[in-house]
Structure 1
Amino acid sequence: MPSSLNTAGLNAAAMSRLLGAWNTGAAPAYRELADVVRLLILDGRLPLETAVPSERALSEALGISRTTVTAAYASLREQGFLSSGQGSRGRTRIPELTPSGPALLGPAPPRGLQSMTAPGLAAPEGLIDLAYSALPASGEVVHRAFAAALTELPALLPGFGYDAIGLLPLREAIADRYTAEGVPTHPGQIMVTSGAQHALTIVIRTLADRQDRVLVEHPSYPNALDAIRAARCRPVPVAFAAAGWDLPALEATLAQQRPRMAYVVPDFHNPTGMAMPDSQRRRLARAAAAAGTVLVVDETLRDLNLDGVATTPVAGFSSAVVTIGSLSKSHWGGLRTGWIRASEGMIQRFAAVRTTLDLGGPMMEQLAAAHLVRALEEPLPARLQALRDNRAALLELLREHLPEWTTTRPAGGLSVWCRLPAPSSTALTVIAPDYGIRLAAGPRFGIGGAFERNLRLPFTLPPGQLEAAVLALRAAQDRLDAAPQLRRTLKNAPAVAIA
């Protein structure tokens, strides 16, 4: 299938389309060209490790002198955004920001702001927390499940209490859910974990070694990127197209780089909220199999289907797919209950690796989770309707108070991915507490500083709090607009913890 990202890299015609109307005459042409290419890299629209067109090809496509392209490429190399390549070719990259690792891995996540950024810490009292995209517990339903679990616990007390695979009633309940969705599954294909992040850590430790390539969407879930970096693997980002997943680019990257594994979130993607159609799921599963890449699918947000989008689990298109799920988003993060669905042989491999991390999850939580999985529909309708109302409220507030921001209505999930008028996401995050809110900067969702023009805003809070938050954002944006030098000063400030 044709693609702008082929074995020769990015072709000149595709580069010309990405550049758009780049030559405004406000500065020397070579400088404007370099500036626009740099912004494309930082925004994630020009993927890392992509070979740019040759000087001659690009000059012909743009109708400018080759000298101008040569000077622009030289400037990008000096700034660290283009590697030195044979002849006039080079590959996109991010300049080295720390001495801890190669630039193509991106910098290690920075340490958090004092007192408010360590993972697991709530926002200081009085702040509206928009860094976490999560819901409070489905109260009565969760309480009832634990009450039932308490009556069942005595039957387990004579045992040792260790089980690396997970409690059988819970594995049966999860397997039945997949079977009901058209993906026949038996309990031996399920491992229960302490949340989705724990599941991903087990999968990475089992499947990938240090320096192995791991394909990721760009943007992607920050904690997944952290887990990949912690394993010293090399994330290979593939940028989204304007309308969603760029399947030709994904297929080309799989075929060319043959990563050890690929991590994707096709169900109400975090942070964009988009859903991958079945036709693309089938192509992605086929391309991963052809490349020998293990496709790891995160379905944590699958149940938060706000618009009734009909899709098939990716595991329905390939028996080799590894699926991660969780009750954290649908019921409550405090449950710390997740799972892995894979072939029985793969589950045994995961179990062997898991014993180096822990010896199994707590039994009481698993008993309660079994009740919740079997009665999943009970809390969901009310929660989904509340999320629809919150989503509508947030989008209307943004249109009214921040019309210069660009938003796309997400089909599901918990958040809106906003496009800012300037690369000010980190600066907004730093000054946000002065206005009573806590944010997660766009670069936390990318590699090497990308997405400074983006901000994820969850709609998990009620409309009244969302209104207060958006008014605070308006005030913070006004402050940056009035003092652009402040934005430049704060650009490299550290980011906050995210869920």
Structure 2
Amino acid sequence: MRHLSATQVARLAGLDPGARPYYRALADRVRALILDGQIPIRVRMPAERHLAETLKVSRTTVTAAYDLLRERGYLESRQGSGSWTALPDPATTADNPWLSTDGDGLVQLHAAAPPAPCALTEAMTEAVADLPRYGMGNGYDPMGLPALRERIAARYTARGVATRPEQILVTTGSQHALQLVFGLLAGPGDPVLVESPTYPHAIDTARRRGARIVPVGVSHEGWEQDLVAGAMRQAAARLAYLMPDFQNPTGALMEDPVRAAITGAARRAGTTLLVDETWAELALDEVPHTSPMAAFDTDGRVISVGSASKLWWGGLRIGWVRAGAALIRRLATFRASVDLASPVLEQLVVARLFDRLEETRAERRRALRTSRAALIAGLREHLPEWTFEPPRGGGTLWVRLAEGTGSAALAEAAAYHGLRLAPGPWFGLDGTLENYLRLPFTQPAQVLEDAVVRLRAALDHGPLAAPRPGDSLIGMV
């Protein structure tokens, strides 16, 4: 099928004539049909005039709906050629839920970000007291403050991989670290292997570099090492982005024999491994001992990325890269095209928090275990048809929805019930993973209990049963 008639679109949309605002309802419905696969990609939509006549609305209404779909990235239009359905680049569209803020009044279940720990206030006070000692300089240190680099290096050494401070580059968050590594090592057309599902911003970063993305599957059961090795070899992958520690979103933990095998396969394929360890400190249950993947590296091809955001607080915006000293110097030089250095005060705060590492890990484990239990109990009571495997660490559930349930349409309905969700396609490529939903358990237990009730209502009734303006939203904090 290369085009749709106005009659076909009207029948597929099935809109209530009283829907208000009608243009938004039409755009939302067409978007849902595209994501569900009922309207294929690269199909020409009917002319605005014809669709307006069929729907018995003004042409202005259909024009507004088409404009909204174009803004969201679901339509592409060319003068004289009409409008064609498309899938958006999630990094650049206004429909990107990662750009949403708490100001919309919705429970932010699209973000797996915990609140600040108790230790933060004391660490900040001490950091402010430390700050005057640094005020005599210009505040620019592209490598990061020595005090923080020493603590990060010491932590890697304690985890089983000897590390010197000159092997550490402090960045402005882990996303900044990914941008630096991709920017230095991956160019247009270079094959880059990523897990599927994976961290959405890694996909965005690879796309912005013009890389050719090569997906390889991962589930809660883990990685098939022969598939990963085969994909690296067959694609001649220049870079492979992996999350071996409580993988986001599946929660899978890669055991040491698999880490060793994949690192060896990367060596034979000539692939550099970019290893995201953002969740590495957050085991919630007893798990097998694992070493950083860098412990299996014999030729400097493992680059490790870490972050203060999950163990401590995302508002600190401090991350780091661990690699060979020569590569770290190259990355520090390259970052000058992005920024000059990370904020001094935030670095001092994180240095102080490293002194409270075990205290913070214990606090996080208690809170996340409680929230995980509340979310699992709620899902099993209210949504027993959904399936998932409770993760042994991290902060997210990767949920498979019942047959026939699309996560994109559910996310649309959930917004009317006070929830902002991250549907499965955000974690994959080309609209895949529509039957999955990532649910974080980084919110307080009572918020998650209420959220599950709202999820059930959204699934059963869609936007029709939405709260009216002014209705109380329990737990909307």
TM-score, with structure 1 as normaliser: 0.73
Count of residues in Structure 1 that have an aligned counterpart in Structure 2: 385
Q: Distance in 2 between the 1:155 and 1:481 partners?
A: 57
Instruction: Look up the SS of the partner of 1:435 in the other structure.
Output: coil
Out of 360, 369, 372, the residue aligned to residue 350 of structure 2 is 369
Deviation at 1:106, TM superposition (A): 7.7
CA separation of 1:200/1:79 partners in 2, compared to 1, >3 Å: closer, same or farther? closer
**2:460 is equivalent to residue 478 of structure 1:** yes
Q: Distance in 2 between the 1:423 and 1:474 partners?
A: 12
Aligned pairs for 1:94-113 (under 5 A) are 107-109=88-90, 111-113=93-95
Deviation at 1:392, TM superposition (A): 1.3
Query: Which residue of structure 2 lines up, in the alignment, with residue 380 of structure 1?
Result: 361
Out of 409, 412, 422, the residue aligned to residue 440 of structure 1 is 422
Query: Which residue of structure 1 lines up, in the alignment, with residue 302 of structure 2?
Result: 321
Deviation at 1:481, TM superposition (A): 12
CA separation of 1:143/1:482 partners in 2, compared to 1, >3 Å: closer, same or farther? closer
**2:164 is equivalent to residue 186 of structure 1:** yes
Out of 173, 193, 200, the residue aligned to residue 178 of structure 2 is 200
Aligned pairs for 1:206-217 (under 5 A) are 206-217=184-195
Out of 428, 437, 441, the residue aligned to residue 455 of structure 1 is 437
Query: Which residue of structure 1 lines up, in the alignment, with residue 111 of structure 2?
Result: 132
- 1:21-50 CA-to-partner distances (Å, cap 9, x unmatched) read xxxxxxxxxxxxxxxxxxxxx99xxxxxxx
Out of 395, 401, 406, the residue aligned to residue 420 of structure 1 is 401
Query: Which residue of structure 2 lines up, in the alignment, with residue 34 of structure 1?
Result: none
Deviating runs (4+, > 4 A) in structure 1?
96-100, 480-483
Asked if 1 retains the 8 angstrom alpha-carbon contact of 2:197 and 2:427, the reply is yes
Amino acid at match of 2:371: N
Asked if 1 retains the 8 angstrom alpha-carbon contact of 2:388 and 2:400, the reply is yes
Asked if 2 retains the 8 angstrom alpha-carbon contact of 1:164 and 1:354, the reply is yes
Q: Distance in 1 between the 2:220 and 2:332 partners?
A: 40
Asked if 1 retains the 8 angstrom alpha-carbon contact of 2:219 and 2:252, the reply is no
Amino acid at match of 2:400: R
Aligned pairs for 1:45-444 (under 5 A) are 107-109=88-90, 111-113=93-95, 117=97, 119=99, 121-122=101-102, 124-125=104-105, 127-139=106-118, 141-240=119-218, 243-309=221-287, 310-318=289-297, 319-421=300-402, 422-444=404-426
Unaligned runs of 5+ in 1: 1-41, 44-77, 81-95, 484-499
- 1:116-172 CA-to-partner distances (Å, cap 9, x unmatched) read 8462622512x2210111101013x11111111112111111112111100001000
Query: Which residue of structure 2 lines up, in the alignment, with residue 69 of structure 1?
Result: none
Asked if 2 retains the 8 angstrom alpha-carbon contact of 1:326 and 1:337, the reply is yes
Amino acid at match of 1:137: A
Asked if 1 retains the 8 angstrom alpha-carbon contact of 2:305 and 2:321, the reply is yes
Identity of aligned residues (%): 46
Q: Distance in 2 between the 1:120 and 1:435 partners?
A: 16
TM-score, with structure 2 as normaliser: 0.77
CA-based RMSD of the aligned residues comes to: 2.4
- 1:215-266 CA-to-partner distances (Å, cap 9, x unmatched) read 0000000111111111111211001257221211101011111111000111
Q: Distance in 2 between the 1:481 and 1:138 partners?
A: 36
Q: Distance in 2 between the 1:156 and 1:242 partners?
A: 46
CA separation of 1:118/1:297 partners in 2, compared to 1, >3 Å: closer, same or farther? closer
Q: Distance in 2 between the 1:148 and 1:137 partners?
A: 16
Amino acid at match of 1:443: P
- 1:166-201 CA-to-partner distances (Å, cap 9, x unmatched) read 000100000000011110000000000000000000
Q: Distance in 2 between the 1:357 and 1:425 partners?
A: 36
Amino acid at match of 1:459: F
Q: Distance in 1 between the 2:278 and 2:311 partners?
A: 8
Deviation at 1:99, TM superposition (A): 6.5
Q: Distance in 2 between the 1:117 and 1:272 partners?
A: 20
Amino acid at match of 1:267: D
Q: Distance in 2 between the 1:201 and 1:157 partners?
A: 29
Q: Distance in 1 between the 2:87 and 2:274 partners?
A: 22
- 1:246-294 CA-to-partner distances (Å, cap 9, x unmatched) read 2111010111111110001110000011101111100111111111111
Deviation at 1:482, TM superposition (A): 11
Asked if 2 retains the 8 angstrom alpha-carbon contact of 1:303 and 1:330, the reply is yes
Asked if 1 retains the 8 angstrom alpha-carbon contact of 2:246 and 2:253, the reply is yes
Instruction: Look up the SS of the partner of 2:102 in the other structure.
Output: coil
Asked if 2 retains the 8 angstrom alpha-carbon contact of 1:261 and 1:295, the reply is yes
Asked if 2 retains the 8 angstrom alpha-carbon contact of 1:222 and 1:444, the reply is yes
Which structure has more RCO (C-alpha within 8 Å, separation ≥ 6)? 1
Amino acid at match of 1:277: E
Asked if 2 retains the 8 angstrom alpha-carbon contact of 1:123 and 1:438, the reply is no
Q: Distance in 2 between the 1:211 and 1:155 partners?
A: 47
Q: Distance in 1 between the 2:112 and 2:430 partners?
A: 23
Asked if 1 retains the 8 angstrom alpha-carbon contact of 2:416 and 2:463, the reply is no
Q: Distance in 2 between the 1:118 and 1:218 partners?
A: 19
CA separation of 1:153/1:286 partners in 2, compared to 1, >3 Å: closer, same or farther? same
Deviation at 1:423, TM superposition (A): 4.3
Amino acid at match of 1:187: P
Instruction: Look up the SS of the partner of 2:275 in the other structure.
Output: strand
Amino acid at match of 1:112: A
CA separation of 1:183/1:480 partners in 2, compared to 1, >3 Å: closer, same or farther? same
Instruction: Look up the SS of the partner of 1:240 in the other structure.
Output: strand
Q: Distance in 2 between the 1:169 and 1:133 partners?
A: 29
Q: Distance in 2 between the 1:456 and 1:408 partners?
A: 12
**2:446 is equivalent to residue 468 of structure 1:** no
CA separation of 1:117/1:376 partners in 2, compared to 1, >3 Å: closer, same or farther? same
